[in-house]
């Protein structure tokens, strides 16, 4: 998963993009990057591993651009290199091309092989680079026509922000897997993965970039086209469940409202009679746990405190074993838990590793009964469309039944939200969503060799 941001025709474009990326940091912490275009059409990239950091900010303070795009990247094991940091920046015969991509292309391996056979030399192992090569080969006149030509054989998930010369382009795949919104700051159009990035720069939300739409912005103004074949809508329901920030709107709906509705529905489907309090696993399940508490009439408590200063680079002390990582990130509040029958609400269980550690912590802090409630169904399959879920073998719900999972996690009871319940709770549901990792109903054929995708950005 990744976060993308872009602004056109603003004297402070670089600073705005920097701010936008701070708001999209939750969508990716492996690398961050900004490409900016100056008034003469020159383009430069500033990229760094890890999150937006002081060194990168200091460098960006010194530069100016009128158009800028940015990217925060989420990791895929094994491909954590600066070559794979985005935005991609290339010099083509038509000028500079820069591209920021959120999603995963499901036929990237085939397209790349085809391009390599025709002489293309790739500089990264990202699936996104395939689009840049196809753009460079296009002979169409207008930038939006070249982008449409580049995308016509591309399958899978993409929300894109691209610069070509002084044109800024934004595009979303026809199934609309990943979010992308359009806002405005004065006259300057601003594109971002989520509205929280519009808020931070003071831009007003205008609308979503539509599935299958290509938007082009240049000195002449804004043009919209729908050059890609229509497809059934498959927005990622996991954006509402876990990924997006609760202060954002994505897919035209409020993430906070979605999560509260998921929590309320969960309380109706899987009540916990006899429980005395509800708590969340901060921060991702805060809103769902609030919904659960409201619906069940139980008090909402802060039973787990999350340390916000633990970076992803933290090295797990080997002697402390598996639970060390959980302990470093979370600490229970004994005064809340001691002697109590509690409901622990989380948004999802993936591997089960974190949850197992948390249950042990909560019990050690004196909880008498632990009832786990999950505001999404069991994750039974991998995602091929941009979320870095592990392989099927690592998914606890692909191996065990809910009863076995409850035993494995050490909880007194375990309740998952049903698929129907989830789809009925999200704004604009129940239709038009991808739920493949929960239901096995994959909208495309899985990639011929899923491992090949691992060369990709996994963002």
Binding site for ligand SF4 (CB under 6 A): 177, 236-238, 383, 385, 387, 434-437
Catalytic hit among 2, 196, 383, 434? 2
d(CA 331, CA 361): 8
- Contact region for ligand 5GP (CB under 6 A) — 13-21, 118-126, 131-139, 347-355? 347-355
d(CA 163, CA 159): 14
d(CA 403, CA 78): 34
Q: Which is nearer to ligand SF4, 385 or 416 (CB)?
A: 385
Q: Of residues 23, 75, 248, 284, which one binds ligand 5GP by CB under 6 A?
A: 284
The residues that touch Mg ion, with contacts defined as CB under 5 A, are: 284
Using the rule CB under 6 A, is 406 a contact of ligand 5GP? no
Q: Which does 355 bind (CB under 5 to 8 A by kind): ligand 5GP, Mg ion, ligand SF4, none?
A: ligand 5GP
Q: Of residues 84, 348, 375, 425, which one binds ligand 5GP by CB under 6 A?
A: 348
Q: Of residues 213, 218, 301, 346, which one binds ligand 5GP by CB under 6 A?
A: 346
Q: Which is nearer to ligand 5GP, 58 or 77 (CB)?
A: 77
**Contacts (CB under 6 A) with ligand 5GP, residues 357-396:** 387-389
Return phi, psi of residue 306, to 5°. -100, 135
Picking from 275, 280, 277, 230, the residue whose alpha carbon sits closest to that of residue 260 is 280
Q: Which pair of structure tokens corresponds to residue 324? A: 């060390």
Using the rule CB under 6 A, is 254 a contact of ligand 5GP? no
Q: Which is nearer to ligand SF4, 168 or 250 (CB)?
A: 250
Q: Of residues 352, 381, 382, 443, which one binds ligand 5GP by CB under 6 A?
A: 352
Q: Which does 354 bind (CB under 5 to 8 A by kind): Mg ion, ligand SF4, ligand 5GP, none?
A: ligand 5GP
Q: Of residues 176, 347, 423, 429, which one binds ligand 5GP by CB under 6 A?
A: 347
Using the rule CB under 6 A, is 418 a contact of ligand 5GP? no
CA distances from 311 to 49, 247, 435 (A): 13, 23, 30
CA distances from 348 to 131, 242, 378 (A): 33, 8, 8
The residue sitting closest to ligand SF4, measured at its beta carbon, is: 383
Residue 315 CB, shortest distance to Mg ion, in Å, is 21
143-151 and 129-137 helices, crossing angle to 10°: 120
Q: Which does 352 bind (CB under 5 to 8 A by kind): ligand 5GP, Mg ion, ligand SF4, none?
A: ligand 5GP
Q: Of residues 5, 158, 240, 242, which one binds ligand 5GP by CB under 6 A?
A: 242
**How many CA atoms within 13 Å lie on the side-chain side of 455?**
18
Coil, strand or helix: which one is 197? helix
d(CA 46, CA 449): 33
Q: Which does 349 bind (CB under 5 to 8 A by kind): ligand SF4, ligand 5GP, Mg ion, none?
A: ligand 5GP
Bridging pattern class, strands 369-374 and 341-346: parallel
Interface size with ligand 5GP, residues (CB under 6 A): 16
Q: Which does 350 bind (CB under 5 to 8 A by kind): Mg ion, ligand 5GP, ligand SF4, none?
A: ligand 5GP
Residues 41 and 166: beta-carbon distance below 8 Å:
yes
Residue 297 CB, shortest distance to ligand 5GP, in Å, is 25
Bridging pattern class, strands 88-92 and 95-102: antiparallel
Annotation says 383 is catalytic: no
Picking from 115, 117, 35, 28, the residue whose alpha carbon sits closest to that of residue 79 is 28
Bridging pattern class, strands 300-301 and 277-280: parallel
Using the rule CB under 6 A, is 355 a contact of ligand 5GP? yes
Residues 189 and 228: beta-carbon distance below 8 Å:
no
d(CA 225, CA 347): 37
Output the CA angle 14-17-20, nearest 5 degrees.
155
Q: Which is nearer to ligand SF4, 327 or 392 (CB)?
A: 392
Question: In sequence order, what DSSP letters do the residues of 139-182 get, joined into one string?
Answer: --SSHHHHHHHHHTT--B--EEEEEETTEEEEEE-TT--S--EE
Q: Which is nearer to ligand SF4, 197 or 387 (CB)?
A: 387
* Active centre residues (catalytic): 2
Binding site for ligand 5GP (CB under 6 A): 242, 281, 284, 346-355, 387-389
């Amino acid at each position: 998963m990744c976060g993308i941001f872009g602004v056109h025709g603003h004297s402070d474009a670089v600073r705005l993009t920097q701010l936008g990326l701070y708001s999209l940091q939750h969508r990716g912490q492996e690398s961050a990057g900004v490409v900016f275009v100056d008034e003469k059409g020159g383009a430069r990239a500033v990229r760094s591993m890890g999150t937006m950091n002081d060194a990168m900010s200091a460098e960006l303070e010194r530069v100016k651009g009128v158009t800028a795009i940015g990217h925060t990247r989420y990791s895929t094991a094994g491909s954590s290199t600066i070559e794979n940091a985005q935005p991609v920046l290339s010099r083509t015969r038509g000028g500079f091309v820069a591209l920021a991509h959120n999603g995963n292309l499901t036929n990237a391996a085939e397209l790349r092989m085809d391009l390599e056979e025709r002489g293309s030399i790739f500089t990264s192992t990202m699936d996104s680079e395939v689009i840049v090569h196809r753009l460079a080969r296009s002979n169409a006149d207008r930038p939006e026509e070249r982008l449409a030509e580049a995308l016509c054989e591309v399958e899978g998930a993409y929300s894109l922000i691209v610069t070509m010369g002084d044109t800024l382009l934004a595009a979303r795949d026809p199934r609309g897997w990943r979010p992308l919104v359009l806002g405005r700051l004065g006259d300057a159009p601003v594109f971002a993965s989520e509205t929280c990035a519009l808020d931070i720069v003071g831009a007003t939300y205008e609308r979503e970039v539509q599935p299958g739409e290509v938007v082009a912005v240049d000195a002449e103004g804004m043009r919209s086209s729908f050059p890609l074949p229509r497809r059934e809508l498959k927005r990622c329901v996991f954006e509402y469940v876990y990924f997006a920030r609760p202060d954002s709107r994505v897919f035209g709906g409020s993430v906070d409202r979605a999560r509260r509705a998921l929590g309320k529905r969960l309380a109706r489907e899987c009540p916990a009679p006899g429980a005395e309090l509800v708590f969340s696993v901060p921060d991702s399940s805060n809103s769902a746990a609030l919904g659960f508490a409201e619906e069940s009439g139980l008090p909402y408590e802060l039973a787990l405190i999350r340390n916000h200063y633990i970076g992803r680079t933290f090295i797990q002390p080997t002697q402390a074993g598996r639970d060390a990582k959980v302990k470093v990130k979370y600490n229970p509040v004994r005064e809340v838990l001691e002697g109590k029958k509690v409901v622990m609400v989380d948004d999802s269980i993936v591997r089960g590793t974190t949850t197992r550690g948390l249950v042990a912590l909560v019990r050690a802090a004196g909880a008498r009964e632990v009832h786990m409630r999950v505001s999404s169904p069991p994750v039974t399959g991998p995602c091929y469309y941009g979320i870095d879920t592990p392989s099927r073998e690592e998914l606890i719900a692909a191996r065990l039944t809910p009863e076995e999972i409850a035993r494995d996690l050490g909880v007194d009871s375990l309740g998952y939200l049903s698929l129907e319940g989830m789809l009925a709770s999200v704004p604009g549901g129940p239709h038009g969503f991808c739920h493949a990792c929960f239901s096995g109903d994959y909208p495309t054929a899985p990639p011929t060799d899923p491992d090949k995708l691992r060369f990709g950005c996994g963002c």
